[in-house]
Structure 1
């Protein structure tokens, strides 16, 4: 299986090392393509070349995936897939520009350095090529989470957009405290803040630009800040009900 990977960042490099086949990388930064190829034993391809491949994988930022599909779809002989992280727009573009090809959207729910892990998968137009590709990913220890594009993108509003907004808000609002004052909850938030802020800013910006979720976090924070004691207790019980499956009045535990 010959695979063209368009995008030689961390996720494209991961895909090149995880897929069974001969891989080539094309990127606007040819040096990045060469580095990815060296990392996984692949080759470098021209971004605007005419060579075709069994599979074309778009591993570009989610804000650019539809344009990349339009530009590269005719290079796919059998299948076209993406690992951009947004599914509905990507699959709509694949259907429009590669109507006869096998089509799948994959979202590894982990950073490449933490592979293997769970991969959300939509088999939009399944076939033997994408089946073999996905089976190879499973063989490498990844778990495939079959879903729909709508279910995935709606989930990402909470899993990514709202979660990142909450952690980044804490990272911006928190002030340093003397050693010894840490609580378990603070330490966990501090760990998350360090993890998130150790990533790539553009990736987090693209997530916020693509998925709703941050506004809900801002609204909840404003509601908490404005609440009086009774209001805050009510909000606390509402939050507890969301996570514990029903009304959660814990006042008796503290009395």
Structure 2
């Protein structure tokens, strides 16, 4: 399988390694980033973004807000399939349907950073076939759990597992004061570890998630309700949280 990866960042490189491709070409708005990706990937090279070469598969691995435009620009370079590894599926799948109509189409969302792979990968197969099946099998062989979903189910889930979760952890980080580690509890210590896992990554990714998915406001509202609650109200909220 000949693969073009548009976007030579962390997830583009991860996909290139585990997609089952026999040969990979990277294209990126920063040619040096593309060269670095090719240097660390077996049987890989680089091409300019405006290349007129054709590849069996095109994978779009750019920030989620840029995915629809990237699909529109590069879908015609694929002879068999166009896929993406963005973090949202409503706009991505719509762009795939519009601009890759005669090709196999699928949207993958690795729910992890490349350094934490393998993990769970929801997928929306907009138009399946042998090529998408082969990619899916290769990702599964690498230890990932690939499972089918819908754009609506996926994006609704991201409001909780990403937007709300990130808001809660970062809010704790902003509110917490530094304490002697000996005071840590079996609850506060894991929270600190979660903070470290988030703030050690790329902040632009988290900003995009907060911009794209609703959910953060509800965490703020819940925190306000808890902090202002009298005893009886707090007990009711505590019980509600455990349901």
After TM superposition, the score normalised by the length of structure 2 is 0.97
Deviation, 1:109, is: 1.3
Q: 1:251 maps to what in 2?
A: none
Partner of 1:250: none
Q: Name the SS for the 2:167 alignment partner.
A: helix
Q: 1:144 aligns with which of 125, 146, 150?
A: 146
Aligned pair partner of 2:206 in 204, 207, 218: 204
User: What SS does the corresponding residue of 2:81 show, helix, strand or coil?
Assistant: strand
1:31 is aligned to: 32
Structure-2 separation of matches of 1:189 and 1:97: 43
Give aligned pairs, total.
Answer: 241
**Aligned partner of residue 242 in structure 2, secondary structure:** helix
| Structure number, greater radius of gyration | 1
CA distance in 2, matches of 1:201, 1:181: 29
What is the CA distance between 1:178 and its match in structure 2?
2.3
1:160, distance to aligned residue in structure 2 (A):
0.5
Q: State how far apart, in whole Å, the 2-side matches of 1:122 and 1:153 are.
A: 11
1:253 aligned partner? none
Which of 111, 133, 138 is residue 131 of structure 1 equivalent to? 133
Structure 1: tracts of 5 or more residues without a match: 242-255
Deviation string for 1:199-241 (max 9, x for gaps)?
1100100111111110110111111111111111111111011
Distance of 2:56 and 2:167 partners within structure 1: 39
Distance 2:181 2:32 in 1: 45
- What is aligned with 1:232? 234
Q: Which residue of 1 aligns with 2:69?
A: 67
Q: Secondary structure at 1:28's aligned position in 2? A: coil
2:89 alignment partner in structure 1: 87
| Counterpart Cα distance in 2 of 1:38 and 1:184 | 43
Tell me what 2:7 maps to.
7
In 2, Cα distance between equivalents of 1:237 and 1:209: 31
Q: Structure 1 segments of 4 or more deviating over 6 A?
A: none
Query: How far 1:162 moved relative to its partner?
Result: 0.4
Q: Which aligned pairs between 1:91-106 and structure 2 lie closer than 5 A?
A: 91-106=93-108
CA distance in 1, matches of 2:125, 2:164: 27
State the superposition RMSD in angstroms.
Answer: 0.9
Deviation of 1:111 after TM superposition, in Å, equals 1.2
d(CA) in 2 for partners of 1:209, 1:177: 32
1:195 CA drift (Å): 1.0
Does 1:40 pair with 2:41? Answer: yes
SS at structure 2 position matched to 1:129: helix
Structure 1 length-normalised TM: 0.92
